[in-house]
Amino acid sequence: MSSQHISEELLLALKTNKPFELLVQNISAINRNSLDTELNNDQKKKAFWINVYNSYFLILRKHQNIDKTKIYTDKLINIAGQTMSLDDIEHGILRKYRIKKSLGYLPNWFAPRWIKHWAVDDLDYRIHFALNCGAVSCPPIAFYNSDRINQQLETATHSFLESEIKINDTEKNAEISKLFLWYLGDFGGKPGTRKIINKYLGKDISGYSITYSTYDFSEDLDNFV
């Protein structure tokens, strides 16, 4: 079974409340060289690591009841024999080792070698609309496959922006998700944010002010598409 298949099966088991322990064992036992060979482009890396992130958030929070203060930073995940945290996956691998609290502008040149080795070649801002942190304001969980991931991320991005962005033409204001503030650099700053809104919503907000909505951290587990 390929690593991609294991990541999808793990997420499916969690969605359907089936036993998942054997899949956790399988994913930890993946041969590292085999993983390197299989995840040989960004499409495959993004599909695998997004599925892994969303799976392990549910495992750690719902099934192991890990405290929210530790769930992101503690190295509680074993993939191909490498222990890691949710932050390692999100900010290290999927965001190409960006410093978590730098608004997306500063790389972490001191990231471990294994993170640099597995990281994507190009940061894709659309991952922010695919990763689920178990909160009401988070994007829902979907199953990502490397053959279809570009269209899947396009759909996830459009759906999230359509539901979360409020544009007031009278006051010339766009109220958008705080994800755009926390990862401002990933989106190309405010100019890039405006371009993204225009691309997905067909709305030119040049000259509009941008404000950020309150992020609802109320717990909402199992929010699958």
**Cα–Cα distance, 87 to 181 (Å, whole number):** 18
Q: What is the pLDDT of residues 42-60, one digit of tens each?
A: 999 999 999 999 999 999 9
Are the CB atoms for 119 and 92 separated by under 8 Å? yes
Cβ neighbours for 180, distance < 8 A, ≥ 6 positions apart: 187, 193, 210, 212
| pLDDT for position 106 | 97
Distances (CA, A) of 214 to 133, 180, 187: 16, 12, 19
pTM of the model: 0.97
DSSP state of 91: I
| pLDDT for position 69 | 87
| pLDDT for position 192 | 98
| pLDDT for position 127 | 98
Q: What is the pLDDT of residues 129-151, one digit of tens each?
A: 999 999 999 999 999 999 999 99
Residues of the chain with pLDDT under 70: none
